Amino acid sequence: MISGGGPTRRELLGAGAAGAAGLLALPASAAADASSTGEPPFSETDRLQRLIRLELLLVYCYRYVLASSILGPRAHERLAPFVGHEEAHVAALESRLKARGGAVPVGPDSIKTANRYLANRGVGGRLGQLKGERDALYLLLTLEQVTIGAYFVAMTKLRDSELITLVCQIMGNEAQHDAVIGLSLPKATPGTAVPYGLVQGLQ
């Protein structure tokens, strides 16, 4: 069901459950047994780069939406601080990446590039084509859920204690963003904004 050009929250959440079910299909010891499965060996540097790319996409999308006047005053006020949060995540992840000798990825430099990244990640909605607050909120909501999913997958692989703690702190923060965006949707309540007992994001 598509409403207003974007999927409903129920559909998105259903997709989240499907994503979680998809994770179930992963071998439990995938990370430990990569050599026998033919999977490439896990690299913390590679994982950090992936997470930073997503965070940079979030920064771009939040900036675009907040600057476009597409949000009503209430949603704008609620979401405005999130850009700074995402920038803080980028800074924290970049410092860990540089400490490991990794090259810092760059974020999207145009709407066209950002839209290509959104499409690659299966996020519905495109910058420049958002028709109202609802479209913008759903785009950000889905992108937050994709980001949570990326952090969850990272959690199934990481070994470094300090990095694990950082990833937990950021994953929790992204989930809070997800809940606040959900609360900004029409007829939402604090209960509907946190509809599931386990959150693993979209994968």
Partner 1 sequence: MVSDDGAPSRRALLTGTGTALAGGVLALAGCGSVDTGKKAVKQTSASVRERDIAILGRALELERRTVAAYIACIPLLTRPERKACRQFLNEELQHTGELASLIKAAGGKAPPRADSYDLGQAATDGASARALVHSLEALQISSYLGWIPQLSPAPVRAAVASILTVDSQHLAMVRVMQDQDPVPGPFVTGST
Task: Name every residue whose Cβ is closer than 8 Å to that of residue 62 and which is 6 or more positions away in sequence.
Answer: 79, 82, 83, 86, 140
- How far is it, in rounded angstroms, from Cα 162 to Cα 93? 11
Residue 78 makes contact with partner 1 by CB under 8 A:
yes
Residue 159 makes contact with partner 1 by CB under 8 A:
yes
**Which of the stretches 4-12, 95-103, 125-133, 163-171 binds partner 1 when contact is defined by CB under 8 A?**
163-171
Nearest to partner 1 of 54, 127 (CB atom) = 54
- Give the total of residues touching partner 1 (CB under 8 A): 58
Q: At what angle do helices 73-99 and 133-155 cross, to 10 degrees?
A: 30
Among 17, 99, 106, 119, indicate the residue that binds partner 1 (CB under 8 A): 17
Residue 52 makes contact with partner 1 by CB under 8 A:
no
Max Cα separation, the chain?
54
Spatial CA neighbour of 203 closest among 8, 7, 23: 23
- How far is it, in rounded angstroms, from Cα 203 to Cα 200? 8
SS3 7: strand
- How far is it, in rounded angstroms, from Cα 195 to Cα 192? 5
Residue 51 makes contact with partner 1 by CB under 8 A:
no
- How far is it, in rounded angstroms, from Cα 39 to Cα 165? 26
Binding mask 118-157 for partner 1 (x = CB under 8 A): ------------------------------x---x--xxx
**Which of the stretches 4-12, 77-85, 97-105, 133-141 binds partner 1 when contact is defined by CB under 8 A?**
77-85
| Residue ranges that bind partner 1, judged by CB under 8 A | 17, 20-26, 28-29, 31-32, 78, 81-82, 84-86, 88-89, 92, 148, 152, 155-159, 161-162, 164-173, 175-180, 183, 189-191, 193-200
